[in-house]
Amino acid sequence: MTLADSKADPDTLAPYLVRVDFVVEMARRLHMYGTSAQRLEGAVTQVARRFAIDADVWSNPTGMILSFPDPERGPAYSMTRVIRLEPGEENLGKLAASDGIVEDVLAGRRDIAEGLLAMRALDRPPGRYARPWTIFSFGLASASVTGLMQRTGWADLLTAAVLGTLIGVLTDVSQSRPRWADAHEALAAFLVTLLATAVATFIAPLSLQGVIIAALIVLMPGLTLTTAVSELTSRQLVSGTARFAGALTVLLKLTFGAVAAAQVVNLLGWQLLPNSGSAVLPAWVPWLTLLAGSFSFAVLFKAARRDMLLVMAAVWLGYAVTRFAAALPGVEDNTLPGGVFFAGMVVTAVANAYGHHFNRPGALIRVPGIILLVPGSLGFRSFNFVFERDVMLGLDTAFAVIAALIALVAGILFGNLLISPRRNL
């Protein structure tokens, strides 16, 4: 009898502690690869039930507590695993790989011990070209965001690409230096603002605010904010509050760096070159930058080679649905951004349908599909206005952030109502 039989007698399965170790390792992997608290807890509970284990799971952004009945002393006693972890980062390749291992074990194609070893083998170091491609993708993502903006020129595009690549190098260096990592966002915003202003002063006129936002776009915590609000709506109050506070802290560090650089510029007395706004990019450039940007997000989300085109197509889907919905009469005249809501709903429904049909994580479509919809840059601009003592404009932008978050999370919830997610992934 195998685990594929949901009515399997626990005595015919692997030893109890081996099953518990497998569930714990799976939970740890889901946390490391950026799974939200409600999805992680739901997936762990379902798999544990298939293993004939009663599991209580509590997840937060910096760790987990898992409790299992003690097989020797009975249900009144429990074994508890407390795991301290860093906040997870999206890794679609390893998420899909670990999910495939779990599916093999549940279907009886692997035994539990083999599955446990296979999951631990995912910790192998990345390939030799992973770091250069990641750094290159920072610049490519910044250039693509600039290309999708209105009223930008070639100087904006090139400057954002160079500064984004610089941020990629700084991010790579900070990963091995803890003190740098704590100040990473502030230092990145300081350098980007200072260098972009230098270009706009001495070389070519720029749409300065747009270039700064595009160069810092990968560091913007828009996806984290969206996940936090999604957790709060799912009554994951501790995890959602902690994640929301973490995202606000990142925004504050980015804002401080940008404001500090602006103060240095004022002390130096730099005067920006006049920007006539006449050198607008050709109409075909946004579509080319969308293609390049979707590739960069596939790299940054660490998608496996077999899923690169799928992840890129998900980015195109989210963008196309947003553009289509925004063109409908009266959609963007409402208080809530209707295009964002509609795109979030469609992307989530498509992701869930893909998960059910191919028995793979819907996150492969859902995460990249909403990446261009998250309001991280709006949050950055809101804090910037407040630091510049333009409180009313800052509050107005903050309300725009809240409206975008509400619309996106509501779209995700309605998408899950249309088609239920596969095992919460």
In this predicted model, what pLDDT tens digit does every residue of 343-395 receive, in sequence order? 899 999 999 999 999 999 999 999 999 988 887 656 666 656 555 666 666 66
- Please compute the mean of the pLDDT values over residues 184-200 and round it to a whole number: 93
The predicted pLDDT at position 391 comes to 60
Cα separation, 313 vs 152, whole angstroms: 25
pLDDT of res. 23: 94
**How far is 351 from 357, CA to CA, in rounded Å?**
10
Residue 9 has pLDDT above 60, yes or no: no
Q: What's the pLDDT at 6?
A: 43
In the chain, DSSP finds a helix count (H) and a strand count (E) of 17, 3
Q: Tell me the C-alpha to C-alpha distance, in Å, between residue 237 and each of 121, 225, 234, 240, 413.
A: 34, 14, 8, 5, 17
| pLDDT confidence band for 231 (50 / 70 / 90) | very high
Q: Does pLDDT of 336 surpass 60?
A: no
Please give the pLDDT value at position 1.
34
Q: What is the pLDDT of residues 253-275, one digit of tens each?
A: 998 998 899 999 999 989 888 87
Residue 281 pLDDT level (bands cut at 50, 70, 90): confident
User: What per-residue confidence (pLDDT) applies to 407?
Assistant: 86
- 119 falls in which pLDDT band (50, 70, 90)? very high
* DSSP for 196-263, written as a single string: HHHHHHHT----HHHHHHHHTGGG--HHHHHHHHHHHHTT-HHHHHHHHHHHHHHHHHHHHHHHHHHH
With a pLDDT cut of 70, the percent of the chain lying above it is 88
The pLDDT of residue 8 is 46
Max distance between CA atoms of the chain, in angstroms, equals: 78
How far apart CA 45 and CA 47 sit, in angstroms, is: 6
pLDDT for residue 52: 87
Q: Residue 79 is inside which H or E element, if any?
A: strand 74-84
pLDDT for 10: 40
Residue 356 burial by Cβ neighbours in a 10 Å radius (0-12, 13-18, 19+): middle
Whether the predicted pLDDT of 7 surpasses 50? no
Q: Is the pLDDT at 5 greater than 50, yes or no?
A: no
pLDDT of residue 333: 47
Give the pLDDT confidence score for residue 422 in this predicted structure.
81
> In the prediction, which pLDDT does 392 show?
66
pTM recorded for the entire structure: 0.88
**pLDDT single digits (tens) 123-171:** 888 777 888 999 999 999 999 888 887 678 888 899 999 999 999 999 9
The percent of residues above 90 in pLDDT, for the chain, comes to: 47
For residue 129, CA distances in Å to 125, 136, 299, 312 come to: 11, 11, 11, 20
pLDDT beyond 90 at 405: no
pLDDT at 174 over 70: yes
424 vs 200 pLDDT, higher one: 200
93-109 residue pLDDT tens: 999 999 999 999 988 89
- Mean pLDDT computed over every residue of the chain: 85
Of the listed ranges 12-21, 78-87, 409-418, the least confidently predicted one is 12-21
The reported pLDDT for the residue numbered 381 is: 62
